[in-house]
Amino acid sequence: MVFSYADVRAAVPTVSRHLPPTPMWSYPVLNAAVGATVHVKHENTQPVGAFKARGALNLLASSPGRGTVTYSTGNHAQSMAWASHLFDTPCTVVMPAGANPGKVAAVRAWGATVVLTGDVLADAEAHAVELARETGQLLVSPGDTPQLPAGVGTLYVEVLTAHPDLDAIVVPVGSGTGAAAAAVVVEALAPRCEVIAVQSSASPAAHDSWRSGSPCTRPNRTRVEGLATGRGYDLPQQILRKHLTDFVLVSDARITEAQRLLATSAHTLAEGAGAAALAALLEFPDRFAGREVAVICTGGNASPAELAELAVP
Ligand SMILES: *Cc1c(COP(=O)(O)O)cnc(C)c1O
């Protein structure tokens, strides 16, 4: 069930057929604020506003036809809906009842069926398992499906092709597939580059799973959607245990500060998860001082509540 760098290489032509490389820019005002040379990888410019488009595209390209059932707080849902639309395949997404209305509308607009149920992702997961059993459609776990991180790995091929001598890449984590993809590609292309994962201290399941050496469950209280998971996932954890340099935690308040900084100094509207990597640089400035660092702006789908909070200093 794991994936390798060979799977990422195999995904490159599939992904590049439908998605051009995303821009990666460095901004002097941002660099001055952080005290490091920061390269912002703009996955917020994907057609669904998040990096997960790459993984869904790779999955649907390799297993089209019978239709999928999945569960998500938002960006995985949009990505599955978008890729299913591209391959003309039915897609059902189960989301928590309180999901970001903008993300729900976007999923529906790509033609997927949305089922809203329960308070948290675990409720949506249970319902999706049931639906897949009833319909015979493929159940897609956002955390444990190897084609997803294999597709996401193409992002890190782009990063290291543009800047082969980076000192570190900082990646926000929910389930950990994005960080696992980074770790696999960095190991193959730039083994001296550090890969540093970041999670919200209000939802530390992946962080605590990595520190303790086995997947565990934890309170899930962050307001940052893409990072809101209550358990560690086996597949990414297996890879992170071998290849990750370090895993840090930041507060939700620090993430909001990083969102503001991206808005004012990098012309970028990031959702909270998309600003979490930069938040790690703000939280641990000494660790990154004077170094060459890529931060992955993983998404730009800020909710109305997040947008309102950004406007209040
Ligand atoms: C899903 C998501 C993450 C976390 O990625 P994982 O692969 O689940 O760890 C980070 N940022 C955004 C915008 C996301 O949608």
Range of the domain at 287: 5-50+146-310
Last-in-domain residue among 77, 107, 140: 140
Co-location of 295 and 208 in the same domain: yes
Residue 37 has pLDDT above 80, yes or no: yes
The answer to whether 178 and 152 have CB atoms below 8 angstroms apart is yes
Give me the pLDDT at residue 122, please: 86
The pTM (predicted TM-score) of the whole model is 0.95
Please report which helix (H) or strand (E) contains residue 129, including its range.
helix 121-135
Q: CB under 8 Å to 281, separation ≥6 — which residues?
A: 34, 36, 38, 170, 288, 293, 295
Q: Are residues 57 and 95 in the same domain?
A: yes
247 and 203 both lie in a single domain = yes
My answer on whether 45 and 64 are in the same domain is: no
Q: What was the pLDDT predicted at 138?
A: 95
User: Which CATH number do you get for residue 178?
Assistant: 3.40.50.1100
Is the predicted pLDDT of residue 271 greater than 90, yes or no?
yes
Q: What's the mean pLDDT in 226-242?
A: 91
> 88, 105, 140: which is the final residue of a domain?
140
pLDDT value for 229: 87
- Tell me, yes or no, whether 164 and 73 share the same domain: no
Quick one: 190 and 251 in the same domain?
A: yes
Is residue 261's pLDDT more than 90?
Answer: yes
Query: How far away, in angstroms, is 138 Cα from ligand 1 center?
Result: 22
Confidence at residue 180, expressed as pLDDT on a 0 to 100 scale: 96
Same domain, 193 and 289: yes
| Domain finish residue from 122, 140, 158 | 140
111 and 237 in a single domain? The answer is: no
Mean pLDDT, the chain, rounded, equals 95
Q: What is the tally of structural domains in the chain?
A: 2
CA distance 251 to 202: 7
Looking at the structure, tell me whether residues 224 and 237 fall in a common domain. yes
Beta bridge partners of 40: 25, 295
- 3-state SS, 65-102, equals CCCEEEECCCHHHHHHHHHHHHCCCCEEEEECCCCCHH
Q: Point out which residues pair with 171 in neighbouring strands.
A: 197
- 219 and 289, same domain (yes or no): yes
Reported confidence tier of residue 303, pLDDT bands at 50, 70, 90 = confident
Among 71, 224, 298, say which to mutate for ligand 1: greatest number of ligand atoms within 8 Å of CB. 298
Ligand 1: residue of 59, 75, 76, 233 to mutate (most ligand atoms within 8 A of CB) is 75
- How far apart CA 69 and CA 91 sit, in angstroms, is 6
Stretch 249-276: mean pLDDT: 97
